[in-house]
Chains A and B, each alone.
Chain A
């Protein structure tokens, strides 16, 4: 199961502000320009509250920008659609449907597949995410990690051009999170589905990404892009490689700059941390 190599999203000069009663309007995105490269795992990282979810909601078509242009494979983007599917920060499986019913929802409501065909396809995909034995369970009977995988399956069955994943592993414990990252990486390397993956964790970002887009703290735009040319298929060994530490030190420098804006004080600890990472990276060779 491979996605077609399409789904290039180009965003230019996107602006979005929120109005709150009795407060100054909040400019969340300002002249935000970026490209989501097809067939790649694009990771968006930035401090909490910088507007990542806002951007994701706009890309998924749930929210509309105040100004700016978005195109997908050259044509302007309008409204929600099956070409871009989102996996949410909190689980959004429908609790009254079994895993199987959740997964076949998309193709059956669109009338693309009969129930039987959809079930067969779903069985294949559930195997891919390792949930074949849980297909008749309700979401509440699954662990957090399984729920995320079920959600992934529910999106994958529709063969979207672009997957938008808004901090899909947030709130999982460390061990489950690491397992999920490995799992997800395997799926991505099998499907090569164009992905925008949002996270606040640098380790996660580097481990998964082909390219990392670092976002500034309010107003949000892309501060810089770091290409991660660690070899694929990846496993946890890359986490100790010199290259990994170099990328980490580079990214940290940008992130800490933004983090500082967020806390509004100069943090010496942060500087020491960056130095330490650099030293570690240099010592490797």
Chain B
């Protein structure tokens, strides 16, 4: 009886005092929540089914190694320098292409949304170039850029560039006109409107553009490496194929998936940071 009373008192006090939970407890809470547990079960299930299909000699799995073999290859590769160099090269290419696309694409999108004249001037060119798939740029890119690194980075850039521009443009043009109007009538000059209204108002669409863009850059970099690259995780995977080394192919694929997932996570964190007003309470 008295025990429940005490805990009640505590819970009331806890409402006012910032809760102090140990780091270990917090980590435990973070790691072992429902989504994570379900996710782990799903992934384990996936590997189990995969293993069973190979062991049971299903005809369509003839060329596929078991997860155990893949794991062995993985451990073997991880200890080798070439694996990390490959990952590093791909990451670098994604990073350069992605950042360049943001640095050029965001201002371009903003400018197109801001000035109708500029939009009419640039949009036609843009719309003609946009449907060309990034990989169709490979030959020109190789001819145009002096180094292989630059041409691959350029192709990744192309992949993310159009998406970000379109997203920013759409973001700017869908800002409620009340939001401009109230700023205008409060005496805001164009530079205020731009800095304090248009820019922050388009951050959600910039964030969307970045999320979509990072996915595309990983897609594109892998394909470009297979066609034109040396080094790179895409190349590693392709060489695995040329050597008839299926475990390496699969390790490559899993690594690509993991790298893409990780970079999306980073972009998500960055974009959440850019709009604190979206994260409530």
Contact = CB atoms under 8 A, between A and B. Distances in A.
Contact of A82 (B187, B192, B275): B187
Contacts of B201: 94, 96
Contacts of B185: 60-62, 80-82, 84-86
A105 B281 contact: no
Contacts of B276: 138
Given A61-B185, A105-B188, A109-B187, A92 B178 contact: yes
Given A94-B200, A96-B200, A140-B277, A88 B178 contact: yes
Contacts of A85: 185-186
B200 A106 contact: no
Interface string B180-212: 011111111100100011001101000000000
Interface residues of A, number: 26
A94 B189 CA distance: 16
Interface in A56-115: 60-62, 80-82, 84-86, 88, 90, 92, 94-97, 105-106, 109-110
Interface residues of B, number: 24
A178 to B, nearest CB: 25
B235 to A, nearest CB: 43
A177 to B, nearest CB: 21
A141 interface: yes
B277 A82 contact: no
A80 B280 CA distance: 34
Chain B interface SS verdict (over half): helix
B179 interface: yes
B176 interface: yes
A109 B186 contact: yes
A85 B186 CA distance: 8
A30 interface: no
A141 B182 contact: no
A92 B176 contact: yes
Contacts of A105: 183, 186, 188, 196
A95 B183 CA distance: 13
Nearest to A106: B186
B183 to A, nearest CB: 7
A200 interface: no
Given A96-B200, A105-B196, A138 B186 contact: no
B175 to A, nearest CB: 10
Interface of B: 176, 178-179, 181-189, 192, 196-197, 200-201, 203, 275-278, 280-281
